[in-house]
Each structure stands twice: as C-alpha cells, then as structure tokens.
Chain A
C-alpha cells in the first residue's frame, strides 16, 4: 500500500519514455507509481516535488535474468581466452574453486554496481559454486544486495556431477545431493 504521508514526486516531461500514454511523465509516492501523465498534461495528484526529466530518456528499470557475479574476478583470464564453453569452463573451474568469502562479497558488490549504473534495477544471479569455504554464499550475496538497495533474485545453484562420475567440473567444486538439498 502507498503511505499517503510519503512525498509525491513528479518525474516531469521526459524527452522520451518507453511506456504508453506517459509522455508527461510519472508520479511516484512511496515505493510505487501512482499516476502516469499524458502528453502536455499535469498530474491530477497534488505534487510535493518535481524532477525535470526533459533531457532524459525514461525506461522501466532494466531486469537482468542471468548472471554469475563471482565471475567478475576472472575477466579476460589468460588461460580461458579464445575458447568455447567446455574448454573455457575447464580452464576456470579450478580457479573458481579458490574463491574466498570476501572475494564473493566484493565481486557481488562490483557486479551489482555495474548493473545499477547501466540502468538495471533487478538482477538475478545464478550462483552454483559452493566449495567448502563458500557454503554461506547466498547469505553473503543477500548482504551485498541489501547494502546497495538493489532488487535481486538469488538462486541457490548447485553442481553434483563431478569428473569422476562423467561430469565436466572437478570434484573440488561439486557437492553431494544431501549437502545441496539439506
């Protein structure tokens, strides 16, 4: 519910907007959009504050639905260059097995920051790496997302089919089914 004591903000007259009948901008109260304003019109709601958006293109916050935040630590990684998926993964699994909790924290912070600065307001992360030192990975990610105030969909990923059972990843990055579901 919208709290009627919250200030009402009009994001006024954007240069362009990706929405129908919204050329005059949007009116926000609390967490929500309470009115959209047609071309050349003013809000019906009484306004407390106005943001002049006449030089801005207004979009709904962008939503990223697949990512691996921790991989920001291995960008342009020498041993993984110029490879396709399976050899690329095999070059990196053994590197990723060494990720420490503080590294996951800072990589989550960095990836979310980069996304936010590019207009993303909701991000999903597919985190499937739970070597023994990273068993509380999702808790670390929750904390970082909360610090930035970003909307996130965190997924408890998993790997259980290691090399010795015919899978692709080394045993150092897989868990048993019981560890995963427990």
Chain B
C-alpha cells in the first residue's frame, strides 16, 4: 500500500551533485525518480544561466534520462528533446489545472506519447489548483489538450487512459490502473443522479462532459472506503474544522 520514491524538487532548488547522487541511490534501492521539469520558461532560463544547459540536457547530465524517471509538468520541450525523452522512456505527469492557473503552458502530450513517453495525470497543488479533485482533473486535461490537438484526438477515453493505465505506469505499477483479472480491486463508482447529468446519453462520456465532482462509492484493495459519497467512519466537518484552523495558525505564524 505504501511505495517510496526519491524526488529532488527541481533544477532551480536542488544542487547538481544531489541530483546525481539521488539517481545513484534510486538505482541502488530500485525505486523511482521524480522531479519537476520544464514547467516554465523561467526555469528554462534559470538552467541556461546557471548550468549552461537546457532542461533536458541538464537532466541527461545528472543521469536522470531513464525509464525510472517521471517528470511533473514537462511543458517546454523542443522536438529533439521530446524524441530524447521518449527514447529513454521518461514519463510525464500532466497537470492541466496548475498549468492553467500559473499560466505555465500546455504539455505536448501526444507528441511525447508518440516518441515513447508514458503520460499520466496529477492534480498538483493544492495551492496551484487549488483543489484536489481527481475526476475533475480528467475533464481539465481533456479540454486543455483539445486546445493543442483538436477535439477528435483528445477523447474522454484518452483522459481515462491517462488517469488510470498511464498514471500506473508512471509509478512503475502493473497491479493497478485497470479492471482486469488479477489486478487489485481498486474501483470508483459514480452515480449520474445530479442535475448536471440529467439528459445525458453516453454515461462514460457524461461523467467528464457534465463535470462529475464526487464518487458515490470507492473500493481500495477489495474494501469499500467510500459509501454514499462519504468516507466510511469520517466526520467531514470535524476534519474541515481541524484543517482550516491549522491553515489560519500557519498564516499567523508566517505573519508574526
């Protein structure tokens, strides 16, 4: 249930030797590598000024061009860089809401896939989303990617694929991300009984097109965790109260 990976933050906040030694450690312990890369043009400029390299060349120079690596965002790549990432099996986590919120850019998802990279999804944030709603993120991915590739290439099935099989592969997992015999019983069930779904015809498409927000039931490893839209055993308002108090206290500490 718990997997660990190594994830220096980004080129602009991590030293070169730490990047190199982290890659070696990941090899030694056979764990995956994760970092932010090519999220913004500012970052590209930083890499050129500080290291004299573009982001992908920098990644290569620290030994990270590997199928052990998945990158968050992966927006600002040229054609050669996309080829290089694909050939080396580097995966990309597309974070559409965050990319829109911070005006970072649009990931070249299909070109990366054609080159050989796996694409998965992430909500990112939560301060740059600012929500943590996974089903809503599929809709965002579908629509943002349509701006780049058109509606016929970016289908709702494509968004589902990214958030399930694609994301599982980014994490190096073959036991999750698919409904098939032998896989873990991790399931999400959504009801179409809200105003927003009324009048819809294709239920699978409706979930994304009409903007589903909440699962009715969720099962993890064969156990129901959510029933009737509530986490079993959780007092949601008590959690909100504890969390919002912590957020207020943090602001007080920061302004002290």
- Quick check: is B123 within 8 A (CB to CB) of the other chain? yes
- Quick check: is A32 within 8 A (CB to CB) of the other chain? yes
Chain A residues, Cβ within 8 Å of B54: none
Interface centre among B2, B3, B217 (most CB of A within 10 A): B2
Main DSSP-derived SS at the B contact region: mixed
Contacts from B to A (Cβ < 8 Å): 1-9, 12-15, 17-18, 21-22, 25, 32, 34, 36, 39-40, 42-43, 46, 50, 70, 72-73, 93, 95, 102-104, 120-128, 130-138, 157, 160, 163-165, 167-168, 170-171, 173, 176-193, 202-204, 206-207, 213-223, 225-226, 229-231, 234, 236, 239-240, 242-243, 246-247, 249-251, 253-254
Bound: A175/B225 CA distance, A: 37
Chain A residues, Cβ within 8 Å of B167: 62-65, 122
Interface size grouping (class) on chain A:
35 or more
Which 3 residue pairs are nearest across A and B when measured between Cβ atoms?
A66-B122, A119-B188, A61-B186
Bound: A127/B131 CA distance, A: 17
Q: Which of A74, A148, A177 contacts B231 (CB 8 A)?
A: A148
**Distance (Å) between the CB of A14 and the closest chain B CB?**
7
**Distance (Å) between the CB of A61 and the closest chain B CB?**
3
**Distance (Å) between the CB of A158 and the closest chain B CB?**
5
Q: Which of A117, A157, A180 contacts B229 (CB 8 A)?
A: A117
- Quick check: is A140 within 8 A (CB to CB) of the other chain? no
Chain A residues, Cβ within 8 Å of B251: 77, 95
Q: What sequence of 0s and 1s flags, for each residue 153-170 of chain A, a beta carbon within 8 Å of any chain B beta carbon?
A: 111111111000111110
- Whether the pair A158, B14 counts as a contact (CB closer than 8 A) is yes
Can you list 21 A-B pairs, Cβ within 8 angstroms, ordered by A? A11-B189, A18-B157, A19-B180, A33-B179, A55-B192, A57-B203, A60-B179, A61-B186, A62-B134, A86-B12, A88-B102, A95-B251, A100-B250, A109-B239, A113-B234, A116-B226, A119-B215, A124-B171, A128-B9, A151-B1, A158-B8
- Please judge, given known A-B contacts A85-B102, A116-B231, whether A66 and B221 are in contact too, CB under 8 Å: no
- Whether the pair A58, B179 counts as a contact (CB closer than 8 A) is yes
